[in-house]
A and B are shown apart, each in its own frame.
Chain A
Amino acid sequence: MFESRLVKEESSFIRTYIFPLGVALAFIALWGTLSALHLFPKSAFPSPMDVLVGFREEIVSGRLWNDLVASLFRVSMGFVLAVVLSVPLGLLLGHAASAREALLPAVNFFRSLSPLAWIPFAILWFGVGDLPVVFLIFMATFFSLVLAVMAAVANIPSVFFRVAADYGFRGWSLLWNVTLPAIMPQIITALRVTAGVAWLVVVAAEMIAGRDGLGFAIWDARNGLRTDLLVCGMIVIGIIGVLLDRLLVRLTHLPNVRWGYER
């Protein structure tokens, strides 16, 4: 039995780490082969080695770090602002049918609007820099979060409120001890989805309304025809996106939200 468990652990280690690493290496080999074949001009298809050198340049100059911090700062600001404001509004819409009827069409309208459509106004109103990007991230995530919270509240089984009343939960204690824990699993799922969207939007927004950040770095590399640096930016954006999701997945492992994912 002990042996079989060892074998199991070994095979799960191989599956979680070795297989994906193999795929990554195969991908880099394919990339290297394609660039060696010179199907495209060298300036339009950098080799893995070029990108590695580019990385070194970006790290030594400190630019990569600055851009990364700038992008993460904007995403955090816009996203946290959206979460803080969307949860109360979603709770209100979930509980009050009249508020829902009045506001839901507007919320749906703004949610359907691509956040990129706001770029011109973002620049006109906030100029260039942190503010327009924060604004765009907010617009990209706020309305989806409101809808997610609203739906989660509306779906709370009524028996929870019956039990809550039986045991004397009212007002704030009801909100804190029953409503919020009851919607937490769905909120976490919504956070994962919208954090992904926020990370997509920051790149697009910084390309146009930024003076630094990973999106701007990509735009700048393109303007300077430095495709090696462009790929550096792409790799960092992809890795951060995955890490961001991994970070939020950790929330789903909290013991008091597990129930939401195991039924």
Chain B
Amino acid sequence: MSDKPLSLINVSHAYGTSAVFEELSVEIERGEFVAVVGPSGCGKTTLLNLLSGFLRPTSGVINRQGTTRMVYQSDGLFPWLTVKENIALGLRHLRDEKARRAQMKDLLELIRLDGFAGHYPHQLSGGMRQRVELARALAGETDVLLMDEPFSSLDYQTRLRMRRMLVRVLTERPRTVVFVTHDIEEAAQLADRILVLSERPAHLIKELRVGVERPRDPTHPTVVSTVKTILDELGLREDARELSAVK
């Protein structure tokens, strides 16, 4: 067994006869922020489900060290529970009432929702709801956060704010993160390493390291050049040139 929090060795997965991955091998370092991008339907969410243990791979080995928690696309909060009660789900393992209360206070402050503990999810904006999801997943001693397009249902400006918030939260509470997104800019702005997947059956077509400290501005030259590289890899810049030539 390796000491990596997550590793995939020659993992293949198929739904019936339709292959999703073929021979995928990835190792994730402790404390690393890995973003996974790729065409829609390439199996990004399946990858997270394999990493979380929700799915078993058809073949290959997945090693997992410590606890993993998933942050869902949207509406993963229980609507019949308040903000506080939802976050408390993540603290269920804490026996000591005092410790639980202290953690709750910290988490609410961390996501800047101190005044909203008694609110229900439907009374919050989309961005606030995702912050609560994040707090719930962070609660307790989670080692790995698996994030499945957590900001995809938000508008662009809110997404920018959420990225900034995520960077701040991870500085205060470092975690290993696997972040699936269709948003290439988001990946370039947040990740230490970006895995670019191909169409199905997906394999790794590019692995990029972004060597700039966070927080990074979306207009930072490294972010922009990373976006360009990924677009090239996905064959999307070519399309754009063709389109402008037609016009």
Which residues of A pack against B, CB within 8 Å?
157, 159-160, 162-163, 165-168, 178, 181-182, 184, 255-260, 262-263
Contact = CB atoms under 8 A, between A and B. Distances in A.
Contacts of B89: 163, 167
A27 B224 CA distance: 74
The dominant DSSP class at the A interface is helix
Given A181-B78, A181-B80, A256-B80, A166 B70 contact: yes
Contacts of B78: 160, 163, 178, 181-182
Interface string B73-102: 001101111000000011010000000000
A261 B52 CA distance: 33
A258 B76 contact: no
The dominant DSSP class at the B interface is loop
B80 A167 contact: no
B116 interface: no
Question: Which of under 10, 10 to 19, 20 to 34, or 35 or more describes the interface residues of B?
Answer: 10 to 19
Given A167-B90, A167-B92, A159 B76 contact: yes
A262 B70 CA distance: 27
B80 A159 contact: no
Nearest to B73: A159
Given A167-B92, A259-B121, A263-B122, 14 more contacts: A157-B75, A159-B72, A160-B78, A162-B54, A162-B72, A163-B76, A166-B69, A168-B92, A181-B80, A256-B80, A256-B81, A258-B120, A259-B80, A259-B122
Contact of A259 (B54, B72, B92, B120): B120
17 contacts: A157-B75, A159-B72, A162-B54, A162-B72, A162-B76, A163-B72, A163-B89, A166-B52, A166-B69, A167-B92, A182-B78, A255-B120, A257-B80, A259-B79, A259-B80, A259-B120, A259-B122
Contacts of B122: 258-259, 262-263
A141 to B, nearest CB: 25
Nearest to A263: B122
Nearest to A256: B80
A93 to B, nearest CB: 22
Contacts of A178: 78
Contacts of A182: 78, 80
Nearest to A157: B75
Contacts of B54: 162, 165
Contacts of A256: 80-81, 120
Contacts of A259: 79-80, 120-122
A184 B76 contact: no
Contacts of B69: 166
A235 B19 CA distance: 68
Contact of A184 (B75, B80, B120, B121): B80
A182 B79 CA distance: 8
B106 to A, nearest CB: 19
Nearest to B67: A166
Nearest to B77: A163
Contacts of B120: 255-256, 258-259
Contacts of B76: 159, 162-163
Nearest to A182: B80
Contacts of A160: 78
For the complex of A and B, list the 4 residue pairs with the smallest distance between their C-beta atoms, beginning with the closest: A259-B79, A181-B80, A256-B80, A259-B122
A201 B69 CA distance: 52
Contacts of B72: 159, 162-163
Interface string B135-174: 0000000000000000000000000000000000000000
Contacts of B121: 259
Nearest to A180: B80
B46 to A, nearest CB: 14
